[in-house]
Structure 1
Amino acid sequence: MKLEVLKKDYYYHIYNRGINGTNIFENDANKLYFLKQLAKYLENKISIFGYCLMNNHFHLVIRLNTEEKEVTQAFSNLFNSYAKAFNKQTNRTGSLFEKHFKRINLKDENYLRRLIVYVHLNPRHHFDIDFTDFKFSSYQAFLSNRETKVERAEVLTLFGDLENFIFCHNQKNEFLNETYTFE
């Protein structure tokens, strides 16, 4: 698979999973550490429009704020630092993630909206978990007034308002158009 070239000011679906489908998160502390490292390495380099951390994979919906080379290096630093810490904690060696993180350029606003919903619904798709209560997705950040790293105002504007944001998430799969490939 040829990797999409990242471009400044473009939106992307970034995702990866554990090598051979193995877990990349064993517990909540791992997920919190991943988010901390994400902020450390990529703050101001990307804007986050959505995320979800599942046990064996993750999804990020982002926009690049700087040039590709800088962002790619920052992601590399994130994944390397996380893998080293995870391997040390779990007493394992070797690669943790599949070779390259996947990236899909989001061509239009409809795709962006549908992807944000898809990412937030991931817990329901994989484990039949109520996505509204899932701790490691950005969904709750949009409902809250607390400070957040996600682009709350921009995303809610993209959906029209908070009411429509919630409505679109509760439409089951009707909102997700089959013509889009998310993974």
Structure 2
Amino acid sequence: MTRRARLLLPGTPLHLIQRGNNRSVCFADNDDCLAYLQLLEEVSRACSVDVHAYVLMTNHMHLLVTPRVDPQAVSAMMKRIGQVYVQRFNRRYRRTGTLFEGRFRSSTHRTPTYLTALPGWLR
């Protein structure tokens, strides 16, 4: 079964969600959160993706992002973050295998009400 193509447009905000595999822990402590956020800052800048808000829970995360030019940059950003962060996490906790549950989920929300409420909810 093929994956449905994502509807991605430059300049359109996206709400991204990524869960730990089987809802397992993917951010065990503050060091994990800091490592993820540093990586997010570095990779989002390199991919020309603006990060407006985020929340890291123990077993999942939410991001509100906007691709500046290339809509595929969001997928490239998440792929790179996943590769680097999962290697770090697996090495640190002496584990192997996948950390996240499939690919990230994304949704577009153009209504001003949703976009103004979301960052407050993400805090």
| TM > 0.5 | yes
Using the aligned pairs only, state the percent identity. 25
Q: 1:40 aligns with which of 22, 39, 42?
A: 42
- Distance, in Å, in 2 between the alignment partners of 1:28 and 1:3 is 34
Where structure 2 has 5 or more consecutive residues not aligned to the other structure, the ranges are: none
CA contact (8 A) 1:19 1:95 kept: yes
- The residue aligned with 1:163 is none
Q: Does 1:57 align with 2:67?
A: no
Q: CA deviation at 1:3?
A: 5.6
Q: CA deviation at 1:9?
A: 0.4
- Distance, in Å, in 2 between the alignment partners of 1:98 and 1:49 is 24
- The residue aligned with 2:27 is 25
- The residue aligned with 1:76 is 79
Q: CA deviation at 1:68?
A: 2.1
Per the alignment, in what secondary structure is the counterpart of residue 101 of structure 2? Answer: coil
| Structure possessing the higher radius of gyration over alpha carbons | 1
Question: CA offsets per residue over residues 43-78 of structure 1, 9 Å max, x none?
Answer: 161112211111111111111112122331121011
Root-mean-square deviation (CA, aligned residues, Å) is 1.5
- The residue aligned with 1:90 is 93
Q: 1:168-179 residue pairs with structure 2 within 5 A?
A: none
More strand per residue: 2
CA contact (8 A) 1:12 1:104 kept: yes
Q: CA deviation at 1:79?
A: 1.0
CA contact (8 A) 1:15 1:101 kept: yes
CA contact (8 A) 1:4 1:105 kept: no
Per the alignment, in what secondary structure is the counterpart of residue 43 of structure 1? Answer: helix
Q: Does 1:15 align with 2:17?
A: yes
Q: 1:110 aligns with which of 94, 97, 113?
A: 113
Higher relative contact order (CA 8 A, sep 6+): 2
CA contact (8 A) 2:10 2:70 kept: yes
